[in-house]
Amino acid sequence: MVSGPLPVVFFATWRLNRHTERTPMRLSKFILSNMEAILQEWEDFAKTIHATIHLMTARELRDHAEAMLKVVAADLDTYQARQEGIDKSQGLAPVVAADTPAEIHAVDRLSSGFTIEQLTAEYRALRASVLRLWQDDIVNITAGEIRDMVRFNEAIDQSLAESVARYSEMHRDSQNLFMAILGHDVRSPLGAISMGAQILSSNTNLTPNAVK
């Protein structure tokens, strides 16, 4: 019986198995634990998509991203029935009374001059950043990780839908307001011209040429 190398081999094998079988960090916990790294990638991407981005502070660039990620993490930790997931993927999630971070983010981005394409690009980059960073932390893909990825994509899609809906609503409101102001400004001088023409045409003391 050989007794020398066995303890060393056993210890090395134990360490390898311990590393391989370690419990992976759930995506919700990973998001909260790596918030700064995720936000930095969000900020770095935002700097590349807007012409006047250099005028914005880091806080403005990260606008509501942390709050949105916390909402996503909380959603991942909440039980969800199969039909609820289907409804969410179809944009039929329950309506929240208060404004969500995603809706507030859309308003701020619209006021900062972001286009709707730039707004949606932020969500695409956020999704990719979180999944890429989390992938580097995963040793083995399990059914739990797959469920987390599905739930994460549903939550991001929901936030994106909320942002796009609010952005479109605010954009339509601003267009309608502009058209109302423009219509009022145009009607005023036209009304004065029309009234003046009626007065002149009713004056019998004017010659036909003067009326023209």
Distance between CA atoms of 93 and 22, rounded to whole angstroms? 35
Dihedral sign computed on CA atoms, order 9, 12, 18, 20: negative
- Which long-range contacts (C-beta less than 8 Å, at least 24 apart) are formed by 63-67? 63/105, 63/108, 63/109, 64/101, 64/102, 64/104, 64/105, 64/108, 65/38, 65/39, 65/105, 65/126, 66/35, 66/39, 67/101
Six-digit token string for 209: 């040429």
List CB contacts of 164: < 8 A, sequence separation 6 or more: 106, 116, 119, 120
pLDDT in tens, 11-66: 444 344 444 455 668 899 999 999 999 999 988 888 888 655 656 777 777 778 89
pLDDT in tens, 168-199: 998 787 776 666 666 655 556 655 666 666 66
What is the pTM (predicted TM-score) of this model? 0.69
Q: Tell me, what's the pLDDT at 9? A: 45
